[in-house]
Amino acid sequence: MFDKSDDIHPLFAGAPDTTEYKKLRKRIVRLTREAIEQYGMIERDARWLVCLSGGKDSFTLLAVLHELKWRGLLPVDLLACNLDQGQPGFPATILPEFLEQMNVPHRIEYQDTYTIVKDKTPAGRTYCALCSRLRRGILYRIAREEGCSAIVLGHHRDDILETFFMNLFHGGRLATMPPKLLNEAGDLFVYRPLAHVAEADCQRFAHSMNYPIIPCNLCGSQDGLQRQQVKAILDGWESNSPGRRQVMFRALMNARPSHLLDPDLFSFSTLERRTAQFDENPE
């Protein structure tokens, strides 16, 4: 599957010829395909807006989706999209040049949300919430303009776990990023095909491929973010008990409403006790 240079997508050109890399790539492709099928992401005549930030996760997403499409396993059109948010020093030419070289259809959108976020965020508060809302609204608009049925994000298993614990610790609710979501307007899906993929695998894959990774210098420059605190907790648990992250992730796929406390999910008030019927003359 990986050895013929004339039978690979350009995004995989120059891939390492090691057993370790081949196993990694195969695992990521398999897990992504499983998530796409499990959560019913494929629609007839669909077109996906694949969001590319320039980070390791979005590069992994882009490559794997094009691999699946190249193999005839993903019958949708893919349009890569990068939103240049006007951050000072952002290397604006890297992604357009890379996408041109890889023969990937794409759209680059410039919107100066950086100035808005810096101006509107109170001192001492993090930028992530406002930045995310602005970015999502722009991506919805682009998806509609391009005739896309879904925007596709590079959130992975660890992002989903971290969001769950952030909601648990700070939001007082059991919720996380779902792999498939319908927007409030009801006209666009939000997909996360890497939902089952570990962050460490994205890291190893993107660096193995030597993709031109661009760090986020906005939220990444702030200390004490809730997500970083949660990540540190999960890292500690994983260090003490290897495999703990995957066990916790499986729990998100195995919810039992009758064993929680939400009366809107399970009707505790209508539970009725049955009178036991005993046979007084058992044979």
Residue 22: what are its φ and ψ, rounded to 5°? -60, -40
* DSSP code, position 151: E
**pLDDT class for 124, splitting at 50, 70, 90?**
low
| Residue 230 per-residue DSSP state | H
User: Where are the chain's structural domains?
Assistant: 16-252
pLDDT at 122 over 80: no
Q: Distance between CA 178 and CA 189 in Å, rounded?
A: 11
Tokens 């939001």 found at: 171
Mean model confidence pLDDT for the chain: 89
Q: According to DSSP H, which parts of 127-262 are helical?
A: 128-145, 157-166, 199-208, 226-240, 244-252
Q: Where are the beta strands (DSSP E) in 9-140?
A: 47-51, 77-84, 106-110
12-38 residue pLDDT tens: 988 999 999 999 999 999 999 999 999
pTM above 0.85, yes or no: yes
What is the 3-state composition of the chain as percent helix, strand, coil, each rounded to the nearest 5?
A: 45, 10, 45
**Topology of 16-252 in CATH?**
Rossmann fold (3.40.50)
Nearest to 66 by CA among 106, 94, 39: 106
Residue-wise pLDDT for 202-240, tens only, equals 999 999 999 999 876 655 444 447 888 899 999 999 999
pLDDT score recorded for residue 142: 97
Average pLDDT of the residues in 146-153: 97
Q: 159: closest CA among 221, 63, 231, 216?
A: 231
> What average pLDDT does the segment 118-134 reach?
76
